[in-house]
Structure 1
Amino acid sequence: MTNSTLTKPFRYDVVGSLLRPQALKQAHAQLAAGAITADQALTIQQLEIKRIVDEQVKLGLHAVTDGEFSRSWWHLDFLWGLTGVGKYDYHQSYKFKGDHTRTDNAELVGKVAFNPDHPFFKAFSYLQSIVPDGVLAKQTIPSPTMLFRDNRSDNWAKFYDSWEAYLTDLAAAYHDTIQHFYDLGCRYLQLDDTTWAFLISKLNDPKLSDSDRQHFEQLSQDGVTVINAALADLPTDLTVTTHICRGNFKSTYLFSGSYDVVAKYLGQLNYDGLFLEYDNERDGNFDALAQIWNHDTHKRLVLGLVTSKFPELENPEDLKARLQTAATKVPLENLALSTQCGFASTEEGNQLTEADQWEKLQLVIDTAKSVWSEA
């Protein structure tokens, strides 16, 4: 896909979430306490979104996001907005390495379907209204595979005669949702996904039983099936990417392991680009890149070499050297650069400042410009 002379994902790109400013956190707390109205909270939220959009444009990003300021979680708020999905207290947090989250979760309460009144549509329309000409409004939502895990679809048999029927409805709900974003003007959408990292951690376990391995491999194939069905027959001028996330909460993580064990599945996904975390040794080496890319000349792999978890800036020369190493597996033409994740997958945010955040993005931009002449 092209936008003028620029191909998306861009040589330097933003993953999605940004640190929530104190004014926004305070407004959400006041709204929850009944101290301000929903309209008052929305006014503050939109002011803060306008501010961070202007900052991204000032940096020179070709695509900008709303920082995910209209949601608390990177995934759950979206899932709750689908028809047939409800909110409940899981009574268990997500156990990150060194910290744990709140206990919110999503579950099936009926058949899954597109919701024409999903609140994310209004949020995107506001973002679209403030993005200047020549800059794209990038929308992020969780992958449909996020309704496979963490008890979210354990009760599928209550509503469906078969697992395959559930997957069909899930794919259709996503397809129609993505199409509606397009109808609202979206031309760049990203499906964020921790399921592949979950599968990486499971399939890399040397103690995994044969039956469990078969289960996780089937889950991997189901992921390919539902994602590709959701992406089928979408407009050709819509770019859809994914971000393979290993967990991002208060600068901690959930999953480790090499991409090798899921590379053959990732290579089957009909995305225009994949954002891959590569900021730490727990991500493995670049050997899996060729299989993930799968000789698709229209696909870009965006390497997340710059961490969003800590403020220390990477050495630009080290980043360029790593890109050249990656280019021995995939042509440099089919590579790009980003941070390894967003800066605030939940409203709590990572352990760095907003100034650190902008410096990280500036490093991504400057490094990419020194590697690709057209960046």
Structure 2
Amino acid sequence: MTSDKIEPIFNPSLWRQRRTFLLRILSEHCVKSVLDYGCGEGALLSVLTSPVGCVDEIVRLAGLDISSEALALCAEACEPMKMDYDNLREKALDIYLYKGSVDVADKRLADYDAIVCSEVIEHLELDDVEKMLTTVLGIYRPRLFIVTTPNAEYNINFPNLNYGTDGTKFRHDDHRFEWTRCEFNAWCQRAADMYGYQVEFYGIGSMKQPIVTKDVGHCTQACVYRRLEKPADKPAWDDRQRHQLFQHIAFPWYNKSDKEEHDTIQELNEIITKLTTITYTLPNCASQVRTEWCETWSWDELSEETPLPSPPIEEITITDIIKDISPEELWSMLRVRQLCRTRERLRELLVKRDNIEMR
């Protein structure tokens, strides 16, 4: 069974629901670096180039895949666009794409906050799945590890897969296995206990009108590993680089030297003024046009003269403060983050600005 036969049954599509789930988990844990295991054509990496929920941006991404064709498409999807040059990030972003196998450790793939392995393990032999797990949880030890895979029980909703019979088929011809929820949970829990992680299980994707009414879970099952404590010792690495660096992509960012403090406060003050005040003009109703009558004038004489311009109407400029603004609202602005670099620096400058105004 191919994905194009499965996807129309779901709304939104199953792949979009999976990606939304991944983005939500990564956002909740405010990760700064992500490694996509089996990155394929870059469906996840390409959207991670923009902030995912936290204002603090991701600064390092990596993708690993065995296919050169998929990596080429991933590189194309992750290239900066015009808007990335027009709106410079306040921090650098580097993307490293590697060609290699997910069951082999490479020192360059260590120290990522999160590793994502979405719809990958079912394409591997079971021995390679175990090697991959040892590499990720035993050697890399990320703060977060997310795995998604098909839920075999849900295949009962696809009649042509003959689930539960001697003629059972997998959803894709290149799948090596598809686990039930019980099998997947047992595999995840065993690894969590072995390597010092806590696990949470999720389901993704349900039909609006499933064929069966009994509980068979969701179409995709997911496990989120959370590391219980930071490892005290780092493993002894083999310095050989086992993966081929396919491409390095560097995003443009605001790397100008910082302004002097006085100039920074001045620009910050201009930004706050624009955000919190409104200036408008009104006619001055008290200003009236007065005409003086001269007895020596005649209407004929007046008609021969060039008409005098009407006296200008005086205007009054009014400035109102329409609202206050919080440091967090300011921090959400790209230019403020470029100026201040950190929230702490923004708060320091706001205090100094207030002190200057009070003098």
Flag the structure with larger Rg.
2
TM surpasses 0.5:
no
